[in-house]
Structure 1
Amino acid sequence: MTDAKIQHYVPKFLLRNFGLGKKDQVWVFDKKLGRSFNTNAKNIASESRFYDFEVGGDEHSLESALSYVETRTKPVIEKILSRDSTASLNAEERGTLAAFLSIQLLRTRAFRAQWEEFPLLLRRKVEAMKLEVAPGSEMEELIRSPSENQVKVDSARMLLRAPEDYGPHFLDKHWFVARTTPAHPFWIGDNPIALQNQTERGPYGNLGLGVPGIEIYLPLSSTRALGMWCPSLAAKFAEGAANIRTLPRHLVERVARKPDRMLAIDECLRTEGGLDYEPMTVMNFNSLQVARSERYLVSPTQDFSLAQRMISDHPEYRTGQRIVDSMAPR
């Protein structure tokens, strides 16, 4: 057990990077209530005894272990921010960051809410198939809603395995730094690792750490984010850039609509440097945080009009993404 009662599922050192520059104050948008407010970063993305659980009558907690991971990761992220690049990270630093990303993927309230849905999902399938469930059977156990403590135990087991299970997927990607300006800041949500895939959706979806074409993002500050792209995307831009460099100028427009942008992206992916984002790209970036977040969004400004518009058009965004909802008939 730990003496820390309030436990964060997004580290305070990250949230502070989205502050106003004074006393760790940030602007927060509450999707559930549809309002914004100003508060200290320590008050967001945290719950009382979130990582504490009981096994066989003994009390345990992951809080100290997670604090240790954060302590090791903080200087790695500071190095990225100071150099505007991931190129100088050594193998140990990359491994540390990959482990942190793997854990951050699963440690949030949003993930807990999704995990709690699985018995409901199974119950619906059983009902749809009109199967009889015998009292005391293994099936009855599977479709029974778990206790809060059981959800915490299950979550702890997955968190302990996360670096081994997911770390290689993060290390396999092409890393770079996405850049914006204070006038168009990045947001960070309470479920901050966002996935996007602009390739064709397959029969089982196209969002997954190992799926071809995946783009993964973690906001690092209000003007910087870590981008991680599938090698297939890097190869696509490398091929396009090679054509641009070899073709006569009058034929370049036939190869790429924005040749200078393609060259910049290829350069960024090859060197692990920085890539400037235009306001529309920043808007897309922030929209991922809106969709992924369970409840809260954090920004250095009070302008959350994008979140308000998205929720108005899609009321389901008031909460985080739900597996059951995504599988409901349309």
Structure 2
Amino acid sequence: MSKPSKNHHYVTRAQLRHFSIDSKEKQVWVFDKESERTWPSGIAAAGSENNFNTVEHEAGKWNFEDLFNDVDNRSARLIRDIVGARSLAWFQAEDHIALLNLFATQMLRTHLARTSPRMLAEQMRDLVRQFGYDPDQDPGMTVPSETILRLGAVRSFLDRGELLKPMARLVPALFAARDNARFVLSDHPVVMSNAYLYGDAALQSHGVIVFLPLAPGIAVALICPTIIARYEAIERAELPAERRSRMERYRNGFRAGQPITIEDAELDNWNRLQVACSRRYLYASTNDFNFARAILAKNASLRTVETHTSMGEMGSGPPRRRGMPAGLQLLVHGRYDSCLLTIAEVDEAGEGLTARTENLDLLQQVSVDPDELRVELYDNGRVRRGMSAACVECFGDPQFGWFRVVHRDGALRELARRTDPTRPLNTHPPP
């Protein structure tokens, strides 16, 4: 029986090999964000830590590294085949499942997956102290021990189906670097972004893109279907020739499972996310990390990252949403898509949320949506009002763009009308 390994990878060797310095697949360049030092490291030592997947308990030690073996073996074959074929056209159902498991496992096995719960617990303790409460008197507010965190990592891996469910709706795609541009890898290599200015970097959000570099020249992504649908709709849109050509190129890549060559600016953004979202280390095939040094010079807090989540301050409202345009904006979330309506004016005396927009085509689309909607009204990026299980009703002359957001359920709508002290029961729409 072989002796259990004590060198445990939080970034698999199968991934690191494709970022090796040469064809021997033995070494990779490492960049330390804390010191800005670089060095060539053996792949066996990079992206790893001794006893990272070992738990100490009263009966001794439990090495749970073998739990990852099945997923890692399938992932290694999958990565090799994708990089070799530079295509997803050969994908079968089992390959799609293996890809989702690769993403989910890589999200759950890193340092950040363990440090985040501890950081959130410490933030909560600091928060309640502001109100004179001693968290040390409450056993439920104890900062989790290293043993608890490691057992939590095991539980999260075994329950990774909770990540696979929202991922399953996303569409796999390949992105390729242009010419001599290169993707980099990090110690937290799965990163998320959103194609929409108002979108959240969350698996359930419309517009989300989940991204994982596989080699310096190619990356795999999981794309929200709403993005795919907008590329498929370009035939009905009036677009400048250059933009239409670019969108057709992306659409063809999505359809065929072929790599979509991206502009350097887009690649730079994905590399920036590797810097911002990693705990400490970057990995690359070349010793060129000046882009990372430039990012760190502007934001020193990224040198060591322990969590991507912040609790904010008690009593304060939600922070300003980044990317939200100025003025009044109504964000409408449907079951299958979302959109942003620019609000020209609001009738404060109207039922529910009564407002006017000049985005008449979008208004018409959301008003006929048969599903329940969720809406948020933003004022210069800060949420002002919200409503769930809602519908949008247009009224008056369509050219003026007046509408109201009300509860879709008639009983709840009537209850809201009767219990809202700021609005008269017999409200008439504006002319």
TM over 0.5: yes
Q: Which has the higher contact order (CA 8 A, sep 6+)?
A: 1
CA positional deviation for 1:227: 1.3
Q: Contact conserved, 1:20 with 1:26, CA < 8 A, in 2? A: yes
Question: Are positions 1:172 and 2:169 aligned together?
Answer: yes
Q: Contact conserved, 2:14 with 2:79, CA < 8 A, in 1? A: no
CA positional deviation for 1:180: 1.4
The correspondence of residues 248-327 of structure 1 with structure 2, limited to 5 A, is 252-253=239-240, 258-320=243-305, 322-323=307-308, 327=312
Corresponding residue to 1:141 among 127, 139, 142: 139
In structure 1, what is the equivalent of residue 398 of structure 2? none
Question: Taking structure 1 as reference, are residues 293 and 133 closer, same or farther at Cα in structure 2, changes over 3 Å only?
Answer: closer
Question: Taking structure 1 as reference, are residues 128 and 212 closer, same or farther at Cα in structure 2, changes over 3 Å only?
Answer: farther
After TM superposition, where is structure 1 displaced by more than 6 Å over at least 4 residues in a row? none
Question: Taking structure 1 as reference, are residues 182 and 156 closer, same or farther at Cα in structure 2, changes over 3 Å only?
Answer: farther
- Give structure 1 stretches of 5+ with no counterpart: 245-250
Corresponding residue to 1:223 among 205, 217, 223: 217
CA positional deviation for 1:133: 5.1
| Residues 259-268 or 91-100, more deviating | 91-100
Corresponding residue to 1:237 among 231, 241, 248: 231
Q: Contact conserved, 1:218 with 1:225, CA < 8 A, in 2? A: yes
CA positional deviation for 1:217: 0.5
CA distance in 2, matches of 1:182, 1:6: 36
Structure 1 residue identity aligned to 2:46: I
CA positional deviation for 1:216: 0.7
Q: Contact conserved, 1:185 with 1:223, CA < 8 A, in 2? A: yes
CA displacement 1:145-202 (0-9 Å, x = unmatched): 222111111111111111x111122221111111115621110001000101142446
Structure 1 residue identity aligned to 2:159: R
Question: Taking structure 1 as reference, are residues 326 and 33 closer, same or farther at Cα in structure 2, changes over 3 Å only?
Answer: farther
CA distance in 1, matches of 2:291, 2:124: 35
CA displacement 1:121-161 (0-9 Å, x = unmatched): 221232234445583xxxx2232222211111111111111
CA positional deviation for 1:310: 0.5
In structure 1, what is the equivalent of residue 105 of structure 2? 103
CA positional deviation for 1:318: 0.5
CA positional deviation for 1:220: 0.6
In structure 2, what is the equivalent of residue 93 of structure 1? 95
CA displacement 1:281-325 (0-9 Å, x = unmatched): 211111111111111111111111110011000111101263565
TM-score relative to the length of structure 1 = 0.88
Q: Contact conserved, 1:184 with 1:279, CA < 8 A, in 2? A: yes
CA distance in 1, matches of 2:136, 2:285: 55
Question: Taking structure 1 as reference, are residues 2 and 325 closer, same or farther at Cα in structure 2, changes over 3 Å only?
Answer: farther
Q: Contact conserved, 1:192 with 1:293, CA < 8 A, in 2? A: yes
Structure 2 residue identity aligned to 1:17: H
Structure 2 residue identity aligned to 1:299: A
Structure 2 residue identity aligned to 1:36: T
Question: Are positions 1:39 and 2:33 aligned together?
Answer: no
Question: Are positions 1:191 and 2:188 aligned together?
Answer: yes
Q: Contact conserved, 2:119 with 2:306, CA < 8 A, in 1? A: no
Structure 2 residue identity aligned to 1:293: S
The correspondence of residues 47-126 of structure 1 with structure 2, limited to 5 A, is 47-54=49-56, 57=59, 59-126=61-128
CA distance in 1, matches of 2:130, 2:255: 50
Aligned sequence identity (%): 25
Q: Contact conserved, 1:195 with 1:216, CA < 8 A, in 2? A: yes
Question: Taking structure 1 as reference, are residues 159 and 183 closer, same or farther at Cα in structure 2, changes over 3 Å only?
Answer: same
CA distance in 2, matches of 1:84, 1:324: 35
Q: Which has the higher strand share?
A: 2
Structure 2 residue identity aligned to 1:18: F
CA distance in 1, matches of 2:188, 2:297: 21
CA distance in 2, matches of 1:278, 1:155: 37
Question: Are positions 1:4 and 2:1 aligned together?
Answer: no
Q: Contact conserved, 2:135 with 2:141, CA < 8 A, in 1? A: no
CA positional deviation for 1:252: 3.9
CA positional deviation for 1:20: 1.4
| Residues 293-302 or 75-84, more deviating | 75-84
- Give structure 2 stretches of 5+ with no counterpart: 320-431
Q: Contact conserved, 2:178 with 2:264, CA < 8 A, in 1? A: no
CA distance in 2, matches of 1:229, 1:62: 32
Question: Taking structure 1 as reference, are residues 2 and 148 closer, same or farther at Cα in structure 2, changes over 3 Å only?
Answer: farther
CA displacement 1:31-63 (0-9 Å, x = unmatched): 011121111122211111111114562532321
| Residues 174-183 or 49-58, more deviating | 49-58
Aligned positions, number: 313
Structure 2 residue identity aligned to 1:327: G
CA distance in 2, matches of 1:2, 1:183: 43
Compare CA radii of gyration and give the structure with the larger one: 2
TM-score relative to the length of structure 2 = 0.68
CA distance in 2, matches of 1:324, 1:217: 19
In structure 2, what is the equivalent of residue 247 of structure 1? none
Describe the SS at the equivalent of 2:44: helix
CA distance in 2, matches of 1:52, 1:243: 56
